């Protein structure tokens, strides 16, 4: 009967996904039809009126109306078009936006920049300015995803771009992980504003090892950040973010098998007219945000710009006392996140430009966000655990806004400090361009309230590349070299401290709810994992574009990388005998009950309050000195010390033919090889696991795509189909497959021999009518493990195994996004109103590569280690001044108050065999004030 019900549930889920897909297709057809009808109607309508101040003290070019770049971002926005030119502006600084047909560039022109491309780049820039200036067109978006300036629609790769103003207006980027909400087949589950779990098209990693890079490369102003834990930074004062899906190994380097994200900050201006903004926001949980930026020109050839972001939010989680089953009033989940950036730009000579910035982040979290829940469906609110000796009964709260745990734990806080700098030198030699980019990043973390567990990383990178002139007829190229060095250190402690000191289990059982003492965890334990890890990498690369005909291009790239990793590691573990009681330190009297005095005269911890500093050395066994032979002889040794080293030679490449069918349509095919470096299992609790090297993973990408524009630039529609062939996929196996310890829940990295990912992506942006802006995308995805090799060893229960056909984690079969912004047609002199809403849906996804039993969710853990399909709906209503200087927005996020899991952890002894649940943010509301000045 259960089997039949589960099949029906699956059939309903599939029908639901099909219904959503059908709705999307219908919406897409309706959108294109509406746009076509609007275009038809527009042909007979009168021309747009001349802006009111278009001729006030300024010359008007002969080809139409005039506009001025008021905010200095290099683009003419619709609001700037309506505002007109600045009074007194010289004619040569006014952008013409009227008669577009007179200024169209060669439709077969290839975008250029930094020495690549065929046609005159100034003409391409001109076309971008003209189309962006027209309120009836979407306009061109300039990107540098191929390390050159190009129109987004001319880049032969799947690309999602968020411009800086959209990030400000919509409150995107409180954490960098927000950007993947807008990427088809992308996600980045983030707790607090910490490490995002970056995933694109099923490629990513949820493992939290500092020394294990994510296959989604993260960059700030083209500077690589290897430590994924440092990538949850807030996004502010940006020109744009660019998300590239699929392998980007040639130009962006190693560890980009799944894609790359580049955050492009706004640069200082070498003009008299400066601009900036200020943002204030306040919402649920006393969530307060202050943000701003402004620039100044110090000399004719020197300018600076400063920007900052500050957010403080109270804890949203109350704490559950498992002893008396009540709320303690101690709040958790609060944080503050403060960051600033100072940039400088200097034009040393006509051919030498220097751009630099420094940044600093202070990030602090209060308590945790993980609650303990029952691991089986239909058991909410029931007893999770009852200790057979002490009688302690644990019943977790069913409220997702309350944190429950196996026992009452001290509140711990986490302090993170992050410092970085970037230097970009651009030197022109005749028509050639030499670019050098130097990056530095330092990250430190420490806990307060318990063991400090200090961790840190320090990284230096250097890239130098030379690009050919942009007017070469047949062959355009850029060649470069890259070097990086990263050092990581980590010193973490775990332990179980005394409970019911001086009392026997019988005496403890006589106390209210057994004092919360656990005989199963009563035996004190201690472990310390300490390692130092360094990574050196050097690479050479080349990317070449051949203009075979005026319409057919072919790009071929190649990169060779040498990488060396070293680790020095020490692990100590101790367990003290219980001596038949739960007392360890001294005889005691508790609630009038006198202890029996059967206390250990040789305790594990001399001072339980600072247990990590007071370990009894007599309980620390001799460490096994690591070597492959020692690991073979002592595979389960949990006390070991040693050094290991490994090196790789990695070759990545791509071949991308491209056909520009018309000036508004292009198709491309991409074949690319990407690689992600391997490493060590630095969280290993056994010597055999430390001895198991993580091999580099390799991904082959077969991709075909089309990018099109319709109805005179009022509709963009892009499509991508892809197939990935994966070798040695690095997966986080939570139940470690070692026959002697089949129930060990520590997460390690293993290589799956073969896997694949395939899917399709559809992206649209449209202006059906002048005041309605629509953005949407659909992602279809199917991922499977094809050959799991010998991961599943003897003694591993079936439920813990990775089975052939299991899916990659965080890879829903269907996801979609739709956003609408509508300017209300109200005739008011000084202000206008904008109503906005967006809807994001994703179908079921798993959080672990094992424990996947979709046909039977009542299988152990099935209900708590996956997330069923859900929708996220957000609303915003904005009143803005007509000059665009001031706006006030009321917002409601997660308007339907959907309850969903950001992540979960498997049941383990520390959670009394309950699952660890991390719930996403519930419904929140607030106000945001934006002020722009120039």
Domain spans, the chain: 146-265, 274-509+522-576+635-933
Six token digits for residue 782: 């199917």
The model carries a pTM of 0.85
CB atoms within 10 A of CB 930: 22
Least confidently predicted of 280-284, 779-783, 795-799, 918-922: 795-799
In the structure, what pLDDT confidence band is assigned to residue 803 with cuts at 50, 70 and 90?
confident
Summarize the confidence of residues 290-302 as an average pLDDT: 96
> In the predicted model, what is the mean pLDDT of residues 536-544?
96
- The pLDDT value given to residue 69: 56
CATH homologous superfamily of domain 274-509+522-576+635-933?
TonB-dependent receptor, beta-barrel domain (2.40.170.20)
Most confident range, picked from 56-70, 783-797, 877-891: 877-891
What superfamily would CATH give domain 146-265? TonB-dependent receptor, plug domain (2.170.130.10)
Taking the C-alpha atoms of residue 786 and residue 799, their distance in angstroms, rounded to an integer, is 18
Per-residue tokens: 209:
């090892």
pLDDT of residue 522: 53
pLDDT at residue 75 is higher than 70:
no
671 contacts: CB under 8 Å, gap ≥ 6: 654, 655, 656, 700, 701, 702, 703
pLDDT band for position 875 (50/70/90)?
very high
Compute the distance between CA of residue 599 and CA of residue 581 in angstroms, rounded to an integer: 8
Compute the distance between CA of residue 638 and CA of residue 741 in angstroms, rounded to an integer: 12
pLDDT for the residue 599: 54
Residue 775: pLDDT above 70?
A: yes
The average pLDDT across 522-551 equals 91
400 to 117, 199, 332, 368: CA distances (angstroms): 55, 25, 13, 13
The residue length of the chain stands at: 934
Q: Is the pLDDT of residue 799 over 70?
A: no
Decide if 732 contacts 810 (C-beta within 8 A). Answer: no
Q: What is the mean pLDDT of the chain?
A: 81
Q: What pLDDT, on a 0 to 100 scale, did the predictor assign at position 225?
A: 94
DSSP structure class, residue 331: -
Minimum mean pLDDT among 76-85, 529-538, 812-821, 823-832: which range? 76-85
Task: Grade residue 794 by pLDDT with cuts at 50, 70 and 90.
Answer: low
Range 729-744 average pLDDT: 60
- The pLDDT assigned to 496 comes to 79
- Cα(106)–Cα(124) distance, rounded to whole angstroms? 9
Q: Where are the beta strands (DSSP E) in 506-639?
A: 525-547, 552-575, 589-590, 593-594, 624-625
431 or 892, which is more confident? Answer: 892
pLDDT at 73 (0 to 100): 53
pLDDT exceeds cutoff 70 at 231: yes
- Average pLDDT rounded to a whole number, residues 864-892: 93
Question: Which run of H or E residues covers position 356?
Answer: strand 352-366
pLDDT for 597 beyond 80: no
Q: What is the pLDDT of residue 520?
A: 58
DSSP code at position 615:
B
H or E segment to which residue 188 belongs: strand 186-189
List pLDDT tens digits, range 375-392: 544 445 567 778 777 888
Contact yes or no for 67/94 (Cβ under 8 A): yes
Residue 234 and residue 212 in contact, taking contact as beta carbons nearer than 8 Å: no
Q: What is the model's pLDDT at position 189?
A: 81
Is 121's pLDDT higher than 60?
Answer: no
Q: What are phi and psi of 65, to 5 degrees?
A: -70, 175
Phi-psi region of 171 (alpha: psi -120 to 50; beta: other; left: phi over 0): left
Instruction: List the Cα angle 49/55/61 in 5-degree steps.
Output: 90
Residue 35: per-residue pLDDT: 42
Residue pLDDT, tens place only, 658-709? 999 999 999 999 999 999 999 999 988 889 889 989 999 999 999 999 999 9
| Plot region of 115 (φ>0 → left; ψ -120 to 50 → alpha; else → beta) | left
Nearest to 721 by CA among 766, 780, 636: 780
The pLDDT value given to residue 116: 38
Residue 853 has what pLDDT?
Answer: 66
Determine the pLDDT at residue 907. 65
Higher pLDDT, 120 or 212: 212
Closest CA to 170 of 897, 902, 889: 889
Residue 192: what pLDDT?
Answer: 78
Per residue, the 3-state secondary structure of 33-45, as one string, reads HHHHHHHHHHHCC
pLDDT at 24 > cutoff 50: no
What's the pLDDT score for residue 389?
A: 76
Mean pLDDT, residues 324-350: 94
The pLDDT of residue 577: 61
Token output for 192: 């607090």
Residues 106 and 99 sit within 8 Å (Cβ to Cβ): no
**CB-based contact 703:158 (threshold 8 Å):** yes
SS3 3: helix
């Amino acid at each position: 009967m259960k089997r039949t019900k589960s099949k029906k549930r699956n059939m309903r889920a599939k029908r639901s996904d099909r219904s959503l897909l059908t709705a999307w297709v219908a919406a897409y057809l309706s959108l294109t039809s509406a746009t076509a009808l609007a275009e038809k109607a527009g042909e007979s309508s009168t021309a747009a009126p001349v802006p009111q101040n278009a001729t006030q003290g300024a010359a008007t070019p002969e080809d139409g109306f005039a506009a001025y770049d008021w905010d200095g971002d290099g683009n003419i926005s619709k609001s700037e078009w309506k505002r007109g030119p600045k009074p007194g502006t010289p004619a040569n600084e006014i952008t013409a936006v009227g008669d577009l047909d007179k200024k169209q560039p060669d439709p077969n022109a290839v975008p250029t920049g930094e020495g690549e491309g065929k046609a005159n780049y100034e003409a391409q820039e001109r076309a971008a300015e003209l189309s962006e200036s027209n309120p009836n067109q979407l306009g061109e978006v300039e990107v540098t995803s191929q390390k050159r300036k190009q129109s987004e629609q001319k880049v032969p790769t799947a690309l999602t771009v968020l411009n800086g103003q959209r990030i400000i207006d919509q409150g995107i980027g409180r954490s960098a992980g927000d950007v993947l909400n807008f990427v088809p087949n992308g996600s980045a589950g983030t707790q607090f504003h910490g490490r995002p779990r970056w995933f694109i098209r099923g490629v990513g990693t949820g493992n939290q090892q500092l020394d294990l890079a994510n296959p989604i490369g993260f960059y700030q102003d083209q500077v690589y950040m290897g430590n994924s834990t440092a990538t949850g930074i807030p996004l502010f004062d940006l020109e744009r973010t660019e998300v590239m899906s699929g392998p980007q190994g040639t130009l962006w380097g190693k560890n980009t098998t799944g894609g790359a994200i580049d955050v492009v900050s706004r640069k200082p201006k070498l003009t008299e007219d400066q601009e900036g903004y200020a943002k204030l926001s306040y919402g649920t949980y006393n969530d307060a945000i202050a943000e701003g930026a402004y620039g100044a020109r110090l000399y004719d050839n020197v300018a600076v710009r400063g920007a900052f972001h500050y957010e403080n939010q109270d804890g949203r989680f109350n704490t559950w006392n498992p002893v008396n089953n009540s709320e303690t009033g101690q709040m958790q989940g609060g944080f503050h996140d403060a960051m600033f950036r100072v940039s400088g730009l200097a034009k040393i000579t006509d051919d030498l430009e220097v751009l630099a910035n420094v940044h600093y982040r202070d990030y602090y979290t209060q308590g945790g966000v993980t609650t303990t829940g029952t691991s089986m469906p239909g058991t909410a609110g029931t007893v999770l655990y009852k200790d057979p000796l002490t009688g302690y009964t644990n019943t977790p709260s069913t409220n997702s806004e309350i944190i429950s745990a196996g026992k009452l734990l001290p509140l711990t806080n986490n302090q993170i400090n992050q410092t970085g700098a970037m230097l970009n030198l651009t030197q022109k030699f005749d028509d050639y361009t030499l670019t050098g980019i130097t990056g530095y990043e330092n990250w430190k973390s420490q806990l307060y309230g318990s063991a400090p567990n200090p961790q840190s990383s320090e990284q230096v990178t250097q890239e130098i590349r030379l690009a050919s002139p942009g007017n070469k007829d047949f062959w355009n190229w850029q060649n470069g070299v890259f070097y990086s060095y990263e050092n990581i250190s980590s010193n973490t402690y775990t332990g179980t401290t005394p409970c019911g000191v001086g009392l026997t289990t019988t005496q403890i059982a006589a106390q209210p709810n057994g004092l919360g003492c656990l005989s199963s965890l009563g035996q004190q334990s201690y472990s310390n994992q300490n390692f130092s890890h360094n990574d050196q990498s050097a690479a050479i690369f080349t990317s070449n574009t051949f203009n075979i005909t005026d319409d057919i291009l072919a790009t071929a790239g190649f990169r060779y990388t040498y990488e060396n990793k070293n680790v020095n590691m020490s692990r100590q573990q101790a367990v003290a005998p219980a001596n038949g009681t739960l007392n360890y330190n001294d005889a005691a009297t508790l609630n009038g009950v006198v202890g029996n005095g059967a206390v250990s005269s040789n305790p594990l911890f001399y001072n339980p309050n600072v247990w990590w500093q007071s370990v009894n050395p007599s309980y620390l066994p001799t460490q096994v000195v690591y070597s492959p032979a020692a690991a073979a002889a002592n595979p389960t040794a949990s006390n070991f010390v040693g050094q290991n080293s490994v090196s790789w030679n990695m070759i990545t490449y791509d071949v991308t033919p491209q056909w520009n069918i018309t000036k508004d349509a292009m198709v491309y095919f991409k074949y690319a090889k990407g690689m992600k470096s391997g490493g060590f299992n630095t969280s290993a609790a056994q010597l055999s696991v430390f001895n198991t090297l993580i091999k580099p993973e390799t991904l082959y990408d077969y991709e075909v795509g089309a990018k099109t524009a319709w109805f005179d630039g009022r509709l963009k529609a892009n499509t991508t189909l892809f197939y990935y062939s994966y070798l040695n996929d690095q997966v986080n196996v939570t139940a470690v497959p070692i026959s002697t310890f089949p129930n060990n829940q520590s997460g390690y990295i293993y290589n799956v021999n073969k896997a694949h990912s395939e899917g399709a992506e559809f992206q649209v942006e449209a202006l059906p009518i002048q005041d309605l802006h629509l953005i949407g995308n659909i992602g279809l995805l199917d991922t499977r493990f094809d050959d799991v090799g010998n991961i599943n060893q003897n003694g591993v229960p079936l439920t813990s195994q990775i089975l052939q056909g299991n899916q990659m984690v965080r890879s829903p079969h269907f996801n979609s996004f739709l956003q609408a912004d509508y300017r209300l047609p109200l005739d008011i002199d000084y202000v206008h109103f904008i109503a906005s809403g967006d809807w994001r849906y994703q179908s079921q996804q798993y959080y672990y590569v094992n424990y996947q039993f979709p046909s039977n969710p009542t299988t152990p853990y099935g209900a708590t280690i996956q997330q069923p399909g859900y929708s996220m709906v957000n609303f915003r209503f904005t009143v803005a001044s007509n000059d665009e200087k001031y706006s006030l927005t009321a917002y409601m996020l997660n308007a339907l108050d959907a309850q969903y899991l950001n992540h979960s952890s498997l049941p383990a002894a520390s959670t009394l065999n309950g699952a660890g649940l991390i719930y996403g943010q519930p419904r929140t509301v607030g106000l945001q004030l934006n002020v722009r000045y120039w």
